Amino acid sequence: MTVGIALTNGLDAVVMTDSRVSIHGRQSDSVNKMGEFSNPLYSGVVCGTGFGNLLEGIIKNMDAFSGDNLAEFVKCMNDSYIQTLVKRRDYYILSVKAEIYRKADLFLFDESTMNELKKYIGMGFKGDELERYMKQEVVSNKEKFDKYVEQEIKSFEQSYDKDKNNNPTSFMVVGFDMKVGKIGLFNFGDSGVYDINSNHYELGSGADGANFYLESKLQGVDCRNLDTAGLAFFVVNAYHNATINHGVGGTPKIAIISKEGTKVLDIERTRAMTNISGAYLSEFNPEVLTPEFMDILFDRVLNGIPDYGNWAKPVGLDRDAFTTMYIPLSSWQERANNLRFKKDEE
């Protein structure tokens, strides 16, 4: 369970991921789901959704991939990923076969077993009747053995493939390609590499919530006219809408990508932008948190010296709380509703 969100104006892009994973019924909110790559010809980030080991295999081995341009770099990653899938499946089937053969051996009569059986069933047979009987039993059990192994392996293969299809792993790559002179957006996974010819893309269990927000709020907006602060504003708001889905959460991570390179924001900036966005969306103190105020604040967070102390005041927090805690949209909404309805009661 996860979410990855990207929005671009063609020359710049903002990418945001969450950090929540659930393993064996337990939850962690501090897992890195974003890998950064840098090359004189291209730079950017990759993020993904699905099996954690497969994601980490890509994210932690970025130096192993190469290409003369961003598209070739992505293909290199995808080829490595497909090879890993094949190896995982082969290893799984081999381990299954070993267990199946161990159990199936119970069907077979080896030589020592046959000699023991002859002692008990030998009486009543004449001439070579006993030998013929035992050979027939061996053939019969060998047929049962082969059929059992074939059916079991086929069953496990179908179960493996079904589970993989129901829980796919896929990746999003966003980077600036120096040769092309613009942002490239790609998706890759089990079925290969695809160009994404859209200004925004979302993946993971929170994709529908994020997509709904962006599709609704970008009506009539030419993304080519958005600066980096504008891109970040929409992405962070979309992230909050993604958290309504199960499994999305934790301290998010934000990357800014342009021809100058890729910059992953420090955690203070990320939390400040996310918290002020949550307050804005919940209509907490709407007299102060206007669209104009948000535009100025996001621009200063990205390009100036952040004034966290003053920015925290309109949302009732001190500087430390504003930059060290991630407050989800649901909590901001509850705060805003409590204040609003309390005033109405008075």
Tokens encoding 324: 């060290």
**CATH for 1-75+168-264?**
3.60.20.10
Ranges of each domain in the chain = 1-75+168-264, 84-165, 266-346
Tokens encoding 258: 């342009």
Question: Per residue of the chain (346 residues), what is the pLDDT tens digit?
Answer: 589 999 999 999 999 999 877 666 676 777 788 999 999 999 999 998 887 788 888 999 999 999 999 999 999 999 999 999 888 888 888 887 777 777 666 555 555 555 655 555 555 555 566 566 656 666 666 677 777 778 878 887 787 777 767 677 899 999 999 999 999 999 999 889 999 999 999 999 899 999 999 999 999 999 999 999 999 999 999 999 999 877 788 889 999 999 999 999 999 999 999 999 999 999 999 999 999 999 999 999 998 888 999 999 999 999 999 999 999 999 999 999 998 887 555 5
Strands 192-195 and 34-39: unpaired
Q: Which amino acid is at 12?
A: D
Do residues 235 and 5 make contact, with C-beta atoms less than 8 angstroms apart?
yes
Do residues 274 and 252 make contact, with C-beta atoms less than 8 angstroms apart?
yes
Q: How many residues can be counted in the chain?
A: 346
Cα–Cα dist 35/26, whole Å: 24
Cα–Cα dist 299/297, whole Å: 5
What pLDDT, on the 0 to 100 scale, is given for residue 290?
95
Query: What is each CA distance from 344 to 279, 280, 286, 308, 338, in whole angstroms?
Result: 20, 20, 16, 31, 10
Buried b (16+ CB within 10 A) or exposed e, 125-154: eeeeebeeebeeebeeeeeebeebbeebee
What pLDDT, on the 0 to 100 scale, is given for residue 210?
95
Tell which residue, 100, 36, 72, 48, has the closest CA to residue 261: 36
Tell which residue, 221, 216, 266, 223, has the closest CA to residue 241: 216
Side-chain-side CA neighbours of 120 within 13 Å: the count stands at 4
What pLDDT, on the 0 to 100 scale, is given for residue 281?
96
What pLDDT, on the 0 to 100 scale, is given for residue 270?
95
DSSP per residue, 197-254: -SSEEEEETTHHHHHHHHHHHTTT--GGG--HHHHHHHHHHHHHHHTTSTT--SS-EE
β-sheet bridge partners, residue 193: 188
What pLDDT, on the 0 to 100 scale, is given for residue 107?
53
What pLDDT, on the 0 to 100 scale, is given for residue 136?
67
